[in-house]
Amino acid sequence: MFKKFEEKENVSGLNQVKSSVLRGIRSTLLDQYPQIEPYLDEIVPKKGALKVVKCQEHIEVLAGANGELLFFKQREGPFYPTLKLVHKYPFIAPAMQVDKGAIRFVLSGANIMCPGLTSPGGRMTRVDKDTIVILTAEGKENAIAVGITKMSTDEILQKNKGIAIDNIHFLNDGLWHMKPVK
């Protein structure tokens, strides 16, 4: 999604969010990420100046009062947390760990294959299909990507073949390098 994302070329507009829309966004975020409830006022304040950065391919990025990029979504899809937000709140979504051999592929934007999760260096949290997950790497402290599962954990263990997680946003992609909005 953000592999060839260039801020100058892909950003088409910036809008301030109305308070009624802000309430809807906060409600959606709480439904998607119930574990952030104690921190929601820090992340998306009720009276804060939330901005929506409109990008090509129907992508919308939510930016906080200080311009920090928080969440993004494509069309009417779910909100995905940005990696910068994940580094501050690592518990925002379930975590999956890939083995050392998969790190360079994940960082180049490749999807995560089942063997990268089921090998001795990989670890999984029990989740269903179509769950937003945070990807960590064996031997690394911080998250390296955000993705969405294509199979449940049980299916991944059973099949051990094919794509397990779609890589949506990873370190050093276009969104990672996007500057805070003003």
Is residue 156 a contact partner of residue 127, using CB atoms and an 8 Å limit?
Answer: no
Among the candidates 31, 62, 85, a domain finishes at 85
Q: Which two tokens stand for residue 148?
A: 């969405």
Last residue of a domain, one of 59, 85, 111: 85
> Which amino acid, one-letter code, is at 105?
F
Domain of 162 in residue numbering reads as 95-170
Does residue 79 share a domain with residue 11? Answer: yes
Confidence of residue 66 (pLDDT cuts 50, 70, 90): confident
Is residue 172 predicted with pLDDT exceeding 70?
yes
Last residue of a domain, which of 58, 85, 112? 85
What's the pTM?
A: 0.90
**Residue 3: per-residue pLDDT:** 63
Specify if 34 maps to a domain.
Answer: yes
**Count of domains forming the chain:** 2
The pLDDT assigned to 182 comes to 77
2-61 confidence digits (pLDDT tens): 666 666 677 888 889 898 899 999 999 999 999 999 999 999 988 878 999 998 888 899
Residue 65: the pLDDT is: 81
What 3 state SS string does 50-75 have?
Answer: CEEEEECCCEEEEECCCCCEEEEEEC
pLDDT per position as a tens digit, 117-158: 999 999 999 999 999 999 999 999 999 999 999 999 999 999
DSSP 181: P
